[in-house]
């Protein structure tokens, strides 16, 4: 089955292609549609944003579409940055977001957090979502050079002592929020 993945994030595409390797799902990306404007993300929930993006791209292409919205929820920050993870800092870069997160947690003992991902499917007749999460905590400083986003700061409970950025892609995809959500993709398909 061929699906359009509503993202321009090359890191996400690489991860998802690895997750779906060996399945009968073939991903097409927005690289094939350079004229499309960026899909809006104005909802206050991961579910709302994932559906909004999938609908936006489906309405402009007519192709069965999947989209995800994901982020990190930090318990001591009332689950922030949450849906604002990508644009947490004014600069909206991975580096600036990580610096700001560490600043906000300076002196805070409770560093529990989770990565969450909601995956949406839209084909004009059918809409559905599934989700995945990964529990852990925020490190005191960056660890590792792999991954992207908040990966160097996130210490997953399932891999004690290592950050997401210190895991191989295969290890990460086994426990990550995105890996868990995309493993459920067949549940979404009609």
Catalytic residues: 69
User: Could you identify the residue written with the tokens 């690895």?
Assistant: 18
> Is residue 178 a contact partner of residue 16, using CB atoms and an 8 Å limit?
yes
User: Could you identify the residue written with the tokens 């993709």?
Assistant: 185
In angstroms, the CA 137 to CA 157 distance is 7
Q: Collapsing DSSP states into helix, strand and coil, what is residue 20? A: helix
Q: Collapsing DSSP states into helix, strand and coil, what is residue 19? A: helix
């Amino acid at each position: 089955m061929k699906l359009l993945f509503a993202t321009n994030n090359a890191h996400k595409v690489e991860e998802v292609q690895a997750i779906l390797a060996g399945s009968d799902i073939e991903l097409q990306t927005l690289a094939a549609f350079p004229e499309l404007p960026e899909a809006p993300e104005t909802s206050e929930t991961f579910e709302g944003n994932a559906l909004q993006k999938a609908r936006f791209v489906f309405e402009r292409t007519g192709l069965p579409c999947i989209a995800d919205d994901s982020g990190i929820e930090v318990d001591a920050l009332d689950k922030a940055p949450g849906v604002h993870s990508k644009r947490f800092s004014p600069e909206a870069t991975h580096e600036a977001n990580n610096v700001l997160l560490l600043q906000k947690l300076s002196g805070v003992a409770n560093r529990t957090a989770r990565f969450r991902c909601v995956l949406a499917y839209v084909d004009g007749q059918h809409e559905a979502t599934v989700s995945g999460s990964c529990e852990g905590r925020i490190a005191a400083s960056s660890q590792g050079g792999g991954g992207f986003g908040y990966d160097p700061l996130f210490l997953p409970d399932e891999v004690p002592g290592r950050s997401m950025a210190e895991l191989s892609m295969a290890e990460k995809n086994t426990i990550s929020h995105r890996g868990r959500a995309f493993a459920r993709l067949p549940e979404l398909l009609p």
